[in-house]
Structure formats: structure tokens, C-alpha cells
Homo-oligomer: A and B are copies of this chain.
Amino acid sequence: MWKLNDNYLKLPGSYLFSTIGKKVNEFTEAHPEKSIIRLGIGDVTLPLAPAVIEALHKAVDEMAVKETFKGYAPDLGYSFLREAIAKNDYADKGVNVTADEIFVSDGAKCDSSNIQEIFSADCKIAVCDPVYPVYVDSNVMAGRAGEWDPKKEMFTNVIYMPCTAENGFVPELPKETPDLIYLCYPNNPTGTTLTKDQLQVWVDYANKVGAIIIYDAAYEAYISEADVPHTIYECEGARSCAIELRSFSKNAGFTGLRLGFTVVPKDIKQGDVMLHSLWARRHGTKYNGAPYIVQRAGEACYSEAGKAQLKEQVAYYMKNANTIYNGLKEAGYTVFGGVNAPYVWLQTPDHMTSWEFFDKLLNEAGVVGTPGSGFGPSGEGYFRLTGFGTYENTVAAVDRIKKL
């Protein structure tokens, strides 16, 4: 008799954003006359840049002609894209990552949930708290997280590293030694960062205890301060302990186009076996490459025109984030993030819970954000707003919040 993977049954409730969507729908049905401004989910709103659109049309035309038609892509990505990434994201920044260490995929969500598969089932994971839910949930499904403790709102076999205003959102090295450490900087959901020195501490720690850092740098394009590293490979020793995940979703608006990549340096080994070989084997067996037309769109992000256009898009979203940050600060809120990331993380007023503040904001201001507690117990008492809306809506939302 077949049996289902009962690890799935350990996952509490539904996915955070489904719950939010449900609440918003209920509100809209009850109050169809009220306008809603959504600054909750991290989806972009600007259309694709002209250089990207041009590349897509051109690639589509190639697919229409026998001589230039492209069938199966190379499992690990087309050379033209891997080379462009290696040059622009690494070599040009003085960082040693080669094209054949770059694995092109259909996005960082897939990569960040699939990467755990190449590790042993008994590896113990450490995550920041609050955290992007996918890291934990994918490990729950794989049976690595233990049981859900509904009282603590934590899994019994996961090391949670609190990141709160008290420690400046810099996680402390854990007491118990993890095997896999998930770090996301600039951080989702808090919008905070580590300096290069602070990240070096983690790289040194990982090399010392024999842990792997899974470094999610999906928001790299939003870094504005000089001492914030753009890649973990700026840190000495990272090539022997760190995997880096990158995305085209937030720097180029590819949320609906789907493109990302993962760097697995060939220096990460166990005995004679490169971790790189396992990830390559996974790609070869369980994946069939990102669409050719989308990879060409990715390449266009690195053209001179593409770079300039994407810089403007990022600036637009950062103007929104600054508007939220400064507006709420003026209104007396305690706010974080918003400087090197499109997310503003605020402390809820009057000791409200995150969901209480969610309801208040929805009901009284018609603004949708994301309750901090949805990202983990240390997110309780916090709330996330994103700079990914339109500028007009962002200004209007801040005005409404100020009037609360």
C-alpha cells in the first residue's frame, strides 16, 4: 500500500501569503467601496526593461526559424549567460567565480528549496529568525526539521537564530553546531544587512566547524552602502564553505519570467567528491534548463542599455522604500531596513501583535503588509512593508498610515 510523505503533514497551516490573500479577499468582499494598497508580497510592478523586451522578441524570432531554433538547453545553462554572469557579477568585482561554477535555473525559490537535496538527511540546519519560509519548509518536507512545536512555533530540530532590534539584526553564532546555515543578505524580511566584516565572521565559523553557508543574495542589486558585500565570495575562505543563490526577480523584474542562478564553487568537497558534481547531477536528472528565450533576456540585463535601465528600476523601488522608511519614522514608528533593501521592517506600535497590526492597517488604512510573525517567532511585534508598489500608491499608503 502506497504511503504519502507524512513530513508534509508537519507543516503548520497554509503558506503565509495565502492567508494574507484570504484576509484581503474577505475585506474586499465586505467593503467593495474601499481602495486597497498592497505593500505585502515582494512582487515587482514595473514592466520589463526595453533591453529585456528586445532580447525576448529577438529570441522568439529565432525560435520561429529552423536554422536558429533551439531545443533542449544545456542542463546547467547556456554559456553566453554563464559567461555574462561570471564577468559582471564576479570577475568585474574582483571575485573569483568561474562560469562553470554557475548553474542557471528558473529562479532562486526553486534553488533555495532544492539545494537541501544534495545534503544528507541528518544534516542540521540553522536559520535566521525571522526567515523566508521556503528554507525551513523545504527541509520539513525532506524530514530534516523534526516536529512542529505549536507552542514555540518552531520545529524541534532546527536551530533558530533570532535577529531583532536587540542584536541589531545580526545573528549570533549558534551554541549548537549546525551543518547547513541559511543566510539571506540583504535580508528578507527585515531589509537589514551584514557588513563585510560581520559576514567574514560567519565564513570563518563555517570553515572552522565544517558547515556550509547557503547564502541567498537575491536583493544584491539594492545595496547602496560601501561596506556591505555584494557577494559572499568577497569574504576570504568563502569558496570552501559557501553556496550563493541569485535571482533576476528583484533586480530586473523577472518574477513572472523566472530566472536565477546558484554558485557552487569547486572547492567545496567531502573527500574526493565535489558538492559541485552533486548539484550538476541533480540538474541533469531533475531539471531541463531555463527557457532559451528567458536566458537571452537574462543576458540582456548585462548589456550597457540593460544595466542602465535596471539601475533606474532599482532606484524607483528604493525611492519607494525610502518614502516608507522616512514617512513612518516621521510618524513616530521605529523602522529598520530600507537602505540596502526594498523592505522596511517596522516595530508594531503599542505592543500590538503582528497580526493585530495587520488587521488594523487593513481595516483602518486599507494597506496590506506582511505580519512579521509569519516569518518566525522573532518576527512577532514586527511588520514588513515593501517598496515594490507604484510610487503613487506608496506615497498614498504612507499618508494613510500617518493618519492612523
Contact = CB atoms under 8 A, between A and B. Distances in A.
Interface in A1-45: 1-6, 8-9, 11, 15, 18, 41, 43-45
A180 to B, nearest CB: 6
A161 to B, nearest CB: 17
A24 to B, nearest CB: 15
A71 B57 contact: no
A291 B258 contact: yes
B5 A119 contact: yes
Interface size class of A (residues with CB under 8 A): 35 or more
B211 A2 contact: yes
A285 B137 contact: yes
A94 interface: no
Given A8-B278, A66-B46, A285 B141 contact: yes
A114 B285 CA distance: 10
A117 interface: yes
A76 to B, nearest CB: 12
A44 B46 CA distance: 36
B292 A256 contact: yes
A8 B118 contact: yes
A65 interface: yes
A179 B5 CA distance: 13
The 4 closest A-B pairs by CB, nearest first: A1-B210, A3-B120, A113-B286, A43-B71
